[in-house]
Each structure stands twice: as C-alpha cells, then as structure tokens.
Structure 1
Amino acid sequence: MTAFALKVLATALLVALISELGKRSAFAGALLAALPLTSLLALVWLYRDTGSALQAAALARGIFWLVLPSLAFFLVFPAAVKVGWGFWPALGAGVLATLLAYAVLLGIDRLFRLGLFG
C-alpha cells in the first residue's frame, strides 16, 4: 500500500506542478505537460512492479498509438474557445473529438488487423 500511495503522490504532485506553472507561464506549463512524464512514471512503476521490460515496451507502444488520436483534443479545444465557445462546451468538444479519433484508430486497427495494441 505504501508503494501505491507513493505513486499517487508523485503523480498528483506532477499534475499540481503543471497547473501552478501554467498560471505563471502558458509556455512553461505546456512544455512540462507535453513531456511524457506521466508515461515515463507509468513505465517505471510497471517495470518496478512486474520486472518485465516486455510489458513496459507493450505499454509504450500502446501509448504511442493512442497519443496520435489524442492530439485531436489539442486542435478542437482551442479552436472552439477561439470561436467563442465557453470553457466547458469547448472542453467537451475536445474530449468528444478525441473519443471519435480513438474510435477511428481502433476501427483501422481491427479492419487491417494491425495488432497495434497487442
């Protein structure tokens, strides 16, 4: 339980740091958020817990393929805000665009039997 609490604390501190940094500098907050720190932490935690580099590599491969459709959020959300949508509707539109992009990627994976996720 102590290891789990440490994982939660480290991850929460990272998110809080990004949020606080973003208040002072959008660029600095974005830069820290854009770094794959969460993914790195997840890979370290997984390897530490399982000792399996293969499982960590499979996770990294899955993260790579899912990062691509998640970029839809970062196109739709700011575009929606720019045209006058409120924060919450724009956020929802960004999340919806991401979910749709995930569905397209999964559909392509199934259609062409690419095996992107294992």
Structure 2
Amino acid sequence: MLRYIVKILVSSVIIALVSEVSKKSGYIGGLIASLPLTSMLALFWLYNDTKNSSKVAELSTGILVFVLPSLIFFVAMPLFLRRGINFYVALALSSGVMMAGYAFFSLILSKFGVRL
C-alpha cells in the first residue's frame, strides 16, 4: 500500500510542477512535460514491482510504437484553440483525432504483421 501511495505522490508532484511552471513559461512547462517522465516513471515502477526486464522492454517498445500517433494531439490542440474553439471542445476533438491516429497507425502496423 505504501508503494501505491508513493507512486501517486511522485506522479502528482510532477503534474503539479508542470502546471505551476507553465503559468510562468509555457515553453519551460512544455520542456518539462515533453520529457519522458511519465514513461520513465512507468518503466521504473514496473521494474520495481515485477523485477521483470522483459516486461520493461515490452512496455518501452510499446511506448516507442505509439509516440508518433500521440503527437497528432499536439498538432490538433493548438490548431483548434487558435480557431477560437472552446478549450474543452478542443480537448475532446484533439483526443478524438489522436484516437483516430492510433487506430490508423494500428491498421498500418497490422499490414506489416505487427499485432498489438
């Protein structure tokens, strides 16, 4: 139970840090957010919990595979916001576009025999 609480606290501190830094500088906040902190934490917690390097390697490969389609979100979001679309609507639309990107990317990978 203590591990779970530590996971939540560490993750929460990073999210709060990005949010607070972004109030002063969107670019510095973006820099911190763009670091693979979430991925690194997930890899760390997975290894710490399982001591299974194969699972860590599989997760790392999965992250790599899905980085490209996830970038679609960061292209769509500012485009929607700059067109005056409400933040929550832009967030939903950008998420939908990203999900479509994931689906398309998964379809492309399946054509090459990669099963997810």
Normalised by the length of structure 2, the TM-score is 0.95
In 1, distance between residues paired with 2:76 and 2:27? 19
Which digits, 9 at most, give the CA deviation of each residue in 1:69-102, with x for residues without a partner?
0101000110011112111111111101100001
Higher relative contact order (CA 8 A, sep 6+): 1
CA distance in 2, matches of 1:94, 1:100: 10
**C-alpha displacement at 1:53, in angstroms?**
1.3
Residue in structure 1 matched with residue 2 of structure 2 by the alignment: 2
Cross-structure match for 1:106: 106
Question: Deviations for 1:17-67, whole angstroms, at most 9, x for unmatched residues?
Answer: 100111111011000000001100110100111111111111011011111
- Measured in 2, the distance between the counterparts of 1:21 and 1:104 equals 34
Unaligned runs of 5+ in 2: none
Alignment partner, residue 90 of structure 1: 90
Letter in 2 for 1:113: G
CA–CA separation in structure 2 for the residues paired with 1:8 and 1:64: 24
Give the counterpart letter for 2:43 in structure 1: L
Counterpart position of 2:36: 36
What is aligned with 1:51?
A: 51
Alignment correspondent of 1:21: 21
Q: Counterpart of 2:114 in structure 1: which amino acid?
A: L
- The CA distance in 1 between the partners of 2:4 and 2:25, in whole Å, is 31
Note the C-alpha offset of 1:114: 2.1
Q: Which runs of no fewer than 5 residues in structure 1 stay unpaired?
A: none
User: TM-score, with normalisation over the residues of structure 1?
Assistant: 0.93
Matched, 1:64 2:64: yes
How well do the aligned residues superpose, as a CA RMSD in angstroms?
1.0
Using the TM superposition, give the Cα deviation of residue 109 of structure 1 relative to its aligned residue in structure 2, in angstroms: 2.0
Separation of aligned partners in 2, 1:61 and 1:19:
28
